[in-house]
Amino acid sequence: MGRAPCCDKANVKKGPWSPEEDAKLKAYIEQHGTGGNWIALPQKIGLKRCGKSCRLRWLNYLRPNIKHGGFSEEEDNIICSLYISIGSRWSIIAAQLPGRTDNDIKNYWNTRLKKKLLGKHRKEIQSRRNNKQISQEMKKGSASRDNYCNNYNNNPYWSAETVPNNVLPPIPYSNEEPRFNDHTSIRKLLIKLGGRFSSQDDDDDDQLPINPHYNIFPAAPEMFSSAPLIDNCLTAAPGPEMECNYKVEGGVDNVAMGSTGGGGGESSNFAYELEQMIYNNPQKFEGLEFLCGDIFLMNNYNNNYNRGDFGGGIMSSGWSEMMSSMVLPSSVVSNNSNYEDSGDDHLMRYNAGP
DNA sequence: AATGTGACCAACCGCTTTTCC
DNA sequence: AGGAAAAGCGGTTGGTCACAT
């Protein structure tokens, strides 16, 4: 037995709103308010619309002080950090961004921000692949997998002995499987890059990982009472200068939040920082093989992003080529020299399959 | 010029939560 | 306390536009 519909579906108009409908709804609500009953409202003003549709139209479009488009870098960063903390709770995220609606933020995330964060990463891979010096090294025959691994001797997570000698990476996913499209996956990536800073947390996916030094949720601290790190945040004074310091084990990656510093420096570019984290912290990809396929699992794997809204697949590539693309700049490697090896947990373990 | 493709966004759908009686 | 109605919410769809071929 289903639930009664909220309105007579046969007699309601669907689709885009006309200016006349907008004007009617806006004028009525501005004069009388919603009356606490959206369902009854369209009848009162002679609109052949579902009450839910009226509510949505008002909240997402007609309401005063609504901002559309033109997200700032600061807003991007806030969205990202909140997404790390709470996932796709768009209404909560929207509450932190005056003038933005949950629908807007959701659309913005799905169509642009995800790509902004991850697209640059792909470009980097592409350019590395095309790096002449690397291909020369490969031609010289020094590009065996072990040799590549030896390049990582400064980084315990990439040591040769931890690379399975005879196991090439399996193809873990079907071509049809969406990867970057799923919120959990994206969030995991962000968490891995920006949070999960202590090795003892590695098995606890439920832990809220981020330690942003600003007050994200002044209105609803009780929501996060189980998350000590967030609790700490709640005691921090809110302010226009929002800075989120992601303390990454073995090093500090400082992601400045907001544009107060002019937004021009490296540390103010969230996407850039993510890129650096990816290369600085390969061990942080533990559990992220679904996301790291572009880097680590490209052998014979033809990335096929079927979803139109998240297009832009990359070329397939062999294992050697893939490894070559992962050569880190020496400065980056040296930054990792003080990582603690977390023991059994190792990136390469994935390649042997579950 | 016609067609295809991808990006963007408004709106819908259906499930969950809250409120009211 | 419990059931129904309303509101809230997040995922998804479909229309439109711009650009590429």
Average pLDDT value over all residues in chain A: 52
Strand B lies under 7 A from the Cβ of residue A254: no
pLDDT digits (tens, 9 = 90+) for A65-95: 888 777 888 888 888 888 877 888 888 888 8
* Nearest nucleotide, CA A107 to C1': B9
> Distance, angstroms, CA A26 to C1' B19?
25
Least confident of A46-60, A67-81, A101-115, A150-164: A150-164
HEC profile of chain A = CCCCCCCCHHHCCCCCCCHHHHHHHHHHHHHHCCCCCCCCHHHHHCCCCCHHHHHHHHHHHHCCCCCCCCCCHHHHHHHHHHHHHHCCCHHHHHHCCCCCCHHHHHHHHHHHHHHHHHHHHHHHHHHHHCCHHHHHHHHHHHCCHHHHHHCCCCCHHHCHHHCCCCCCCCCCCCCCCCCCCCHHHHHHHHHHHHCCCCHHHCCCCCCCCCCCCCCCCCCCHHHHCCCHHHHHHHHCCCCCCCEEEEEECCEEEEEECCCCCCCCCHHHCHHHHHHHHHHHCHHHHCCCHHHHHHHHCCCCCCCCCCCHHHCCCCCCCCHHHHHHCCCCCHHHHHHCCCCCCCCCCCHHHHHHCC
CA torsion, points A268, A270, A271, A276, in degrees to nearest 10?
Answer: 80
Q: Which nucleotide, over all strands, has the C1' atom closest to the CA of A119?
A: B7
A168 CA to C14 C1' in angstroms comes to: 42
Are residues A336 and A251 in contact, defined by beta-carbon separation less than 8 angstroms? yes
Q: Pick the closest to residue A77 from A246, A219, A227 (CA basis).
A: A246
Q: Cβ of residue A321 near strand B, that is under 7 Å?
A: no
A36 CA to B21 C1', in Å?
16
The pLDDT of A294-299, averaged and rounded, is 33
Stretch A222-236: mean pLDDT: 34
- Higher-confidence residue of A32 and A233: namely A32
Query: What does the pLDDT average to over A315-339?
Result: 32
Nucleotides in B strand less than 7 A from protein CB: 5-14
pTM confidence score: 0.54
Does pLDDT of A112 surpass 70?
yes
CA atoms of A99 and A122, how far apart (whole Å): 33
Higher pLDDT, A25 or A211: A25
Say what the pLDDT of residue A68 is.
79
Residues 105-134 of A with CB under 7 A from strand B: 106-108, 110-112, 115
Look at residue A58 and tell me whether its pLDDT is greater than 60: yes
Question: Measuring from the CA of residue A50 to each C1', which nucleotide is nearest?
Answer: B12
Residue pointed to by tokens 């020299």 = A337
C1’ C8 / CA A12, Å: 21
Q: Assess whether pLDDT exceeds 60 at residue A26.
A: yes
Whether A130 has a pLDDT exceeding 50, the answer reads: yes
**In Å, how far from its chain's centre is CA A262?**
23
Total residue length of chain A: 354
Q: Which residues contact A336 (CB under 8 A, 6 or more apart)?
A: A154, A155, A157, A250, A251, A280, A281, A328
Confidence of residue A129 (pLDDT cuts 50, 70, 90): low
Bases on strand C under 7 Å from any protein CB: 5-15
**Mean pLDDT, residues A102-106:** 87
What does the pLDDT read at residue A122?
Answer: 56
Tell me the mean pLDDT in the region A278-296: 43
Interatomic CA–C1' length for residue A7 and nucleotide C4, angstroms: 15
Question: What is the model's pLDDT at position A265?
Answer: 32
pLDDT band for position A119 (cuts 50, 70, 90): low
Footprint of strand C on the protein (CB under 7 A): A 3-4, 6, 15, 34, 36-40, 51-52, 55-56, 88-92, 102-103, 106-107, 110, 183, 309
C-alpha A269 chain-centroid distance: 14
- Return the structure tokens found at A124: 């980097």
The answer to whether the CB of A288 falls within 8 A of the CB of A192 is yes
Q: What is the pLDDT of residues A131-145, one digit of tens each?
A: 545 445 444 444 333
- Distance of alpha carbon A62 from alpha carbon A75, whole angstroms: 22
Q: Which residues 48 to 87 of A reach strand B, CB within 7 A? A: 49-50, 52-53, 56-57, 60-61, 68-69
Task: Specify the pLDDT at position A6.
Answer: 62
Give the closest nucleotide to A35 (alpha carbon vs C1'): C6
Confirm if A294 and A122 have CB atoms less than 8 A apart.
yes
Alpha-carbon span A38 to A313, nearest angstrom: 44
pLDDT at A32 over 70: yes
**How confident is the model at residue A5, as a pLDDT?**
55
Nucleotide nearest to A15 (CA to C1'): B11
CA of residue A150 to C1' of nucleotide C12, angstroms: 47
Q: How confident is the model at residue A290 (pLDDT cuts 50, 70, 90)?
A: very low
pLDDT tops 60 at residue A239: no
